[in-house]
Amino acid sequence: MREIVATVLENKRIADGIYSLTFAADEETVVRPGQFCMIGLVGFPLRRPIAVCQAAGERVTVCYQVRGSGTRSLARDYKAGEKLSVLLPLGNGFFVAPDEKRIAVVGGGVGIFPLISLIRACAGKKEIYAYMGFRNRAALCMEYEMQRADHLTLATDDGSVGFHGTSVQAFMSELDEVKPDAVFACGPTPMLRALKSAMSGRGIPVYVSLEERMGCGIGACLVCVCNRTGGAHARVCKDGPVFEIGDVEL
């Protein structure tokens, strides 16, 4: 975990409201799949937590959705050459056990981005079944990256591309044939809830990456907590963002 001054290499729109930002860290940066970074923006007291899609050498790529004034500033004001204060790598990330040879990756909306890093890390080493959901064709992005999976199913809410429905529905329709050793998911809370109830009692481990509003991003301030099953709190930034789905309330 370091605080660095990064240089923006590229910051471009890749889909409706979605941007891909690549920056150069000050030195080679090892980021595990599912880890995130906190990006500081001039004029904003809080850093923005954003999942890392890809880290190779000094180059780190993150994708984000323009949602409020902070991400609007990030998209508008940080062109190639600009400096960014970044804290990284943060959080626990995904861990795929050696005996988990066949994995399913289920993503929805901006939840696909941390899963891209997992697909990249596991490509060629695991048999990957990816189910990626989008609102519609205009929101679809990163198709090339997702195709690194051995089997890719796209889903859209309006049926304009691929499976007509959610990525969870697409995944559940094939679960009995695919028989994954483990499932890795990220997306909106209703999607994760649907996955949790559909997978309950099947004996297949399901790991979810959670999103929460954060303060420090390093585990000190106790702002971004989630409820563990049984009532205790966990810090999404430090104990997570990845949890076994049965360990957390959604």
Partner 1 sequence: MADLHIDLCGIRLKNPVIAASGTFGFGREFDEIYDISCLGGVATKGIASVPWAGNPVPRIAESRGVILNAVGLQNPGVEAFLAEDLPWLKQKTRVIANVVGRTYEDYEAVCARLDGLVDMVELNISCPNVTCGGMAFGIRPEAICEITARVRKQLTKTPLMVKLSPNVESIPANARAAERGGADCLSLVNTFTGMAVDIERRRPVLANNTGGVSGAGIKPIALRMVYEAAHAVSIPVVGMGGISCAEDAIEFMMAGAVAVQVGTQNFTDTRACPKIIAGINEWCDTHGVAAVGDLVNTLKLNEKERGTC
Cα–Cα dist 106/186, whole Å? 7
- Cα 175 off chain centre by: 22
Q: Is 219 in the site for partner 1 (CB under 8 A)?
A: yes
**Where does the chain have alpha helices with state H?**
69-77, 112-122, 143-146, 167-178, 189-199
State the number of binding residues for partner 1 (CB under 8 A). 29
Q: Does 3 bind partner 1 (CB under 8 A)?
A: yes
Structure tokens at 145: 């990256």
Q: Which is nearer to partner 1, 53 or 224 (CB)?
A: 224
Strands 151-156 and 163-164 turn out to be parallel
Return the number of the residue (164 or 233) whose C-beta is nearest partner 1. 233
Decide if residue 225 touches partner 1 (CB under 8 A).
Answer: yes
Instruction: In whole angstroms, give the CA distance from residue 170 to residue 166.
Output: 6
Is residue 224 involved in binding partner 1 (CB under 8 A)?
A: yes
Given the complex with partner 1, which of 196 and 238 has the nearer CB atom? Answer: 238
Chain positions 44 to 103 lying near partner 1, rule: CB under 8 A, are: 44-47, 70, 85, 87
In the bound state with partner 1, the residue whose beta carbon lies nearer, of 80 and 221, is: 221
Q: Does 4 bind partner 1 (CB under 8 A)?
A: no
4 vs 103 by CB, closer to partner 1: 4
Alpha-carbon 163 to chain mean position: 21
Separation between Cα atoms, residue 128 and residue 236, nearest integer Å = 26
Both tokens of residue 148? 């690194």
Binder to partner 1 among 40, 89, 114, 133 (CB under 8 A)? 40
Interaction between residue 212 and partner 1 (CB under 8 A): yes
How far apart, in whole angstroms, are the C-alpha atoms of residue 33 and residue 115? 7
Q: What's the Cα-to-Cα distance from 138 to each of 17, 18, 109, 134, 146, rounded to whole Å?
A: 9, 10, 12, 9, 16
- Residue 1 within binding range of partner 1, rule CB under 8 A: yes
Interface pattern 131-160 for partner 1 (x via CB under 8 A): ------------------------------
Q: Which of 215, 228, 247, 250 binds partner 1 (CB under 8 A)?
A: 215
Q: Which residues bind partner 1 (CB under 8 A)?
A: 1-3, 40, 44-47, 70, 85, 87, 212-226, 231, 233, 238
